[in-house]
Amino acid sequence: MVSGKAGVAKRQLLLLTGRAHPELAEAVAGHLGVSITPQSAYDFANGETFVRFEESVRGADAFVVQSHCAPINDWLMEQLLMVDALKRASAKRITAVMPSYPYSRQDRKYAGREPVSARLVADMFKTAGADRIVTVDLHTAQEQGFFDGPVDHLHAMWLLAGHVRARYQSEDLTIVSPDAGRTRLAEKWADLLGGCPIAFIHKTRDPERPNEVMANRVVGDVAGRTCVVVDDMIDTALTSTGAARQLLEQGARDVVLVATHGVLSGEAHERLVASKAREVILTDTLPIPHERRFPGLTVLSIAPLLARAIREIFEDGSVTSLFDGDA
């Protein structure tokens, strides 16, 4: 894809991908009508990563796509090396496309002597040579300020809500936040779905046991209703399945679990299969292998949204216009 005016050198869009989730990059390339730039990428015996592009990238508008799943540190380092290689090969502009931002949950210090890892990741990409970051559904919106440059924070809410609306619009819905801190997100969902009521789960965490949550009680009207639990990610699935159990105990008719990022660590697959959730809805910001899929799981493609954002950036358009048309 090229862009430019008569008499002015045309810019070239290059799409590059790491090895974490090549299927997503291929889907994005298909929506853009471009081919992925060929490269060599492999690991040495000691674990070091090597990357080299097989074509010239000089003067190009380069977009480097990488999902950050396990082993997350390997894929993070690979994307940093790709950005550095582009800088040293004289790419005109480098955009790091991270459908799932690594270390997003470590966005502040919860106690003394802890790092702010999400900020460190942003600093590393800036040092490597990234001019811009594109990501989807950060854990907290203020992380956009960690990177010293433009950050396009895309949202999968419209995609996910569209699926929920099409499938459950005839039912009495309640949008449920898995904790009190995400009630604002639940309110946005409720507005998108026509003003349905919201509820939230009051929960506590054990500081000595990371990723584990104890769901306490439900605040809101859920009896006899289809409850849609919305969150940014499902990791170990303890939060989501605990919320589903609590809602059903409080008289909910059905529970639908919705999240953007399907991390699905450890026994998450088994917990979701064993839960009584009617449907689990995720996007493919992270790869979900066949062995971790099950009949009640729906995976929606985030590729069209990423492709539209990339096209707008390349053509100096408005990414905000993808959502509200105000920019």
Phi, psi for residue 95 in degrees, rounded to 5: -115, 125
Catalytic residue among 87, 92, 188, 203: 203
pLDDT digits (tens, 9 = 90+) for 60-85: 999 999 999 999 999 999 999 999 99
3-class secondary structure, 84:
helix
The reply to whether 238 sits in an annotated binding site is yes
The reply to whether 46 sits in an annotated binding site is yes
pLDDT digits (tens, 9 = 90+) for 191-207: 999 999 999 998 666 66
Distance in angstroms (rounded) separating the CA atoms of residues 86 and 52: 9
pLDDT digits (tens, 9 = 90+) for 23-74: 999 999 999 999 999 999 999 999 999 999 999 999 999 999 999 999 999 9
Nearest to 160 by CA among 262, 281, 55, 30: 281
Residue 323 has pLDDT above 70, yes or no: no
Residue 210 CB neighbour total at 10 angstroms: 9
**Which residues lie closer than 8 Å to 305 by C-beta, 6 or more apart?**
136, 154, 156, 159, 322
CA distance to 12, 107, 212, 233, per residue, from 237 (Å): 42, 21, 9, 9
DSSP bridge partners of 52: 40
Say which DSSP state 319 is in.
Answer: S
Q: For this structure, is 10 an active site residue?
A: no
The reply to whether 47 sits in an annotated binding site is yes
Radius of gyration, CA atoms only, the chain: 21
* Residue type at 20 in one-letter notation: A
In the chain, the domains with their CATH numbers are 13-154 (3.40.50.2020), 157-301 (3.40.50.2020)
Note the pTM of the prediction, 2 decimals: 0.92
The pLDDT of residue 298 is: 98
The reply to whether 123 sits in an annotated binding site is no
The pLDDT of residue 325 is: 43
- pLDDT more than 70, % of the chain: 92
